Amino acid sequence: MKNARPVSYAQASLLAAACLVGGLGLWWLLSRAGLFPPSALPTPGEVAAGLGEEVRTGRLADDLVASLFRVAAGYTLAVVTSIPLGLALGHSPRWRAALLPTVNFFRSLSPLAWIPFAILWFGIGDAPVVFLIFMATFFPLVLATLAAVAEVPAVYFQVAHEYGFRGTELLTRITLPAVMPQVITALRVAGGVAWLVLVAAEMIAGRDGLGFAIWDARNGLRLDLLVCGMIVIGLTGALLDWLLSLLSKLPGVRWGYEH
């Protein structure tokens, strides 16, 4: 990164727009060049028409809402359970000795391996997808929180002891804010994983949602709608990551990103 010049907001926007236009141009050329059969690679125009159709019928909105609900449910459930468990494991050698091998075991399992059980236990619909997203994000978040606790400088705990922080207050006013910058980074990574898993889970265990829409388009040989689903998934994933990145702008955690 030696001599790397900073890029202004206007320059960055221009570069991104140029890349986007270039990408669309390349796609259009490929679809017109005859390298693939017309049924195997829709043109940008066909995809735009398909997008219009999806918006008009209301199916896109329905699928988007269904997917966002599942991600929100599974991810929130994972966050509210994994962070307290990670804090407890970080503070207690006994808890760590008891649970860390199990957490590591489940962390190593692909969440997709749970799909058969998800369908057997919860059927088809919201519940299995929520379960799969939970399984994909819970264990990495526990480990990230645990690692963050281990890295809290000892001096913070000395200060806490000196000024009388004990028990729950120690956890909520010292440990939790001390690990927040690292936990926020882990939340962004887990958010990305949740969105990835959602598509795969909905393809198999869903009756609607963006993942199911892609699968349905493939079955109906509507590749224009398939690409349309892919674009919406990509854009929504980027938007969700941007929203999560706003957490790192909070005044109480800015210190963790200043180097």
**Interface with another protein, residue 172, by CB under 8 A:** no
Site for another protein in 115-154 (CB under 8 A): 153
Q: How far is the CB of 176 from another protein (least distance, A)?
A: 9
**Interface with another protein, residue 168, by CB under 8 A:** no
What sign for the dihedral angle of Cα 127, 129, 133, 138?
positive
**Interface with another protein, residue 251, by CB under 8 A:** yes
- DSSP three-state, residue 36: coil
| Six-digit token string for 138 | 């819970």
Q: How far is the CB of 130 from another protein (least distance, A)?
A: 32
In this chain, which of 16, 159, 239, 243 binds another protein, going by CB under 8 A?
Answer: 159
- d(Cα 64, Cα 235) in Å, to the nearest integer? 11
Nearer to another protein, 56 or 259 (CB): 259
**Interface with another protein, residue 180, by CB under 8 A:** yes
Nearer to another protein, 219 or 258 (CB): 258
Residues in the chain: 259
Q: How far is the CB of 99 from another protein (least distance, A)?
A: 28
- DSSP three-state, residue 208: coil
**Interface with another protein, residue 170, by CB under 8 A:** no
Long-range contacts of 110-118 (CB under 8 A, 24+ apart): 111/135, 111/136, 111/197, 112/197, 112/200, 112/201, 115/200, 115/201, 115/204, 115/205, 118/201, 118/205
- Binding residues for another protein, rule: CB under 8 A, are 153, 155-156, 158-159, 161-164, 174, 177-178, 180, 251-256, 258
